Amino acid sequence: MMILEKGVLPPTPSVVDTKESEKPPPYTSPEPSSSSTQTPQLPPAVRANNSLFQSLVQQQVNHLYLHSRHNPISGSYILNSELPPLAIGCDRPKQCGRVPLDGQNKRLFKQPHTPNASFQTRHGAISLNLATAGSTEDITRTYVQTNSRHGKINVNLFALQLHKHICLEVATRHGHIVVFLPQCFQGAIQIRSRRGNVNFLPGFAQSARVVSGNDRFALVLFGINNLTLSDLDSDALDVCLLSTRHGKITIGISGVDTYDDSQSTNLLVKKLGSLSTMILGTDVTRYIQSWPVIHVPLHA
């Protein structure tokens, strides 16, 4: 087969050189065809989001355990503690053997509880939309564990069915915690933080009532007026347990309050700027800001 190159005419048969004719034709890669044996690949965005740990479809679940070391976890789940366990055997991970996660909260419960849902990751972020549901009018409580060592956790508890209460436990070491509770929440929020960096959004602050607190602990009532620590183990109440060592805790009302993550970033930049001014002085910082920006090319 003769290959035509743009702008070059093929030699006529009468003047073809025998030496040139002995050379093999130049190699050209074949065009891909529809019958290629290559495995079809999904678009990167679809392949990244549609995974085991990042559900795109709302699910009604019970005895759900999603644990990972590095993958982020996200999804929307309707928690129904009345659903029977799966017929096939499913071993529960050892990390979610008991409720609560924080050992300091053990005295709140007469006996340890098995979580109905557990979301845990070491380095990834967690973003969940949660609600409770059931087919009966019996008073039940769903236990949910959410834990990340270094990642940020966002939980939007957007609905609670009547008589279907929840015990939501969120814990981190270094990551920030942002939790939105529904207006029908009837119970207590217990907060533990070593640095005491807690923020109430405006809607939540208007309806919440702080019962006790210090530099590392706070008990807040929401939707009720009277509550003792012994009542937290009652299935007729909602409980939210938030604990972090070095992160920040933000609480708001679902559908009422809004949280802009960029506000904390801008605040951090302002703090770093003021800190450099305090340590180095205005003249030095002004000189640093006048330095030219050098763009370093990135090599493949």
For every one of its 300 residues, what pLDDT tens digit does the chain have, with 9 covering 90 and above?
Answer: 444 444 444 454 444 454 555 555 555 544 444 443 343 343 444 344 547 788 888 999 999 999 988 899 999 999 999 998 765 545 555 544 555 676 667 677 777 788 899 999 988 999 999 999 999 999 999 999 999 988 999 999 999 999 999 999 999 998 999 999 999 999 999 999 987 689 999 999 999 999 888 888 899 999 887 776 667 778 889 999 999 988 999 999 999 999 987 654 444 334 334 433 333 343 333 333 334 433 334 443
Residue 235 lies inside a defined structural domain of this protein? yes
User: How many folded domains does the chain comprise?
Assistant: 1
- Does residue 71 belong to any structural domain of this protein? yes
| Residue 286 falls inside a structural domain | no
Q: Which residue has the tokens 């290959």?
A: 3
Residue 202 lies in a domain: yes
In a domain, 282, yes or no: no
Model confidence, pTM? 0.68
In a domain, 268, yes or no: no
Q: Which range of residues forms the domain containing residue 185?
A: 49-254
What pLDDT score was predicted for residue 263?
55
In a domain, 267, yes or no: no
CA angle 85, 56, 249 (to 5 degrees): 85
Indicate whether 74 belongs to any domain: yes
